[in-house]
Amino acid sequence: SWEATEFDINEPQQRQLAGLAAGLGVEVFVVDDAWFGARTGDAAGLGDWWPNPDRFPRGLGPLADHVRALGMGFGLWVEPEAVNPDSDLFRGHPDWILSQDGRTRTQRRNQHVLNFARRDVREWAVEWLVRTVTELDVAFLKWDMNRPFSEAGQPGAADPDRVWIEHTRG
């Protein structure tokens, strides 16, 4: 849905697009970026992985059911490793991002990268991903990555360079 809607997304519009897609013989309809949190542009909401109540007041379940009733699989866009500073996740866990002691945190594309070397970050991500994919019966997960890594480190760690190994294992 990204090319048709970008950040201007809501349930009625996605239903209409799904109908058009089904008529073209599309096999999987993917709801792209901006279905979640306060995501009305690229500077906010990334990391708040729950349906935006203004855009999807009934959640994503009814839309997913509609897509399947049209004979298509339901797909969903995510970017679990990224977080906007203007998000509930970042405000609650600013320590969860990759960073280096003594260095200024830099943003790329208005976002930071979460530190999957941390067990709590991995557990958080797995929990919401599994729940979302299971509850919505997601047939295709579009896992995006829109920001380069920088400041790869883990403040306070005995061996902060090990973050690459642990992040990858995560």
DSSP 3-state of 63: helix
CATH number, domain with residue 44: 3.20.20.70
Element (H, E) at 151: none
Length of the chain: 170
Task: Provide the domain limits for residue 58.
Answer: 2-169
Token representation of residue 22? 């089904």
pLDDT digits (tens, 9 = 90+) for 61-104: 999 999 999 999 999 999 999 999 999 999 999 999 988 878 88
CA–CA dist 43, 19 (Å, integer):
30
User: Please, are residues 35 and 7 in contact by the beta-carbon 8 Å criterion?
Assistant: no
Token pair of 64 as six digits? 């997913």
Count up the domains in the chain and report the number. Answer: 1
Task: Please check the confidence at residue 156 and state whether its pLDDT lies above 90.
Answer: no
pLDDT 10s digits, 12-52: 999 999 999 999 999 999 999 999 999 999 999 999 999 99
Task: Specify the pLDDT at position 102.
Answer: 82
**Single pTM value for the model:** 0.89
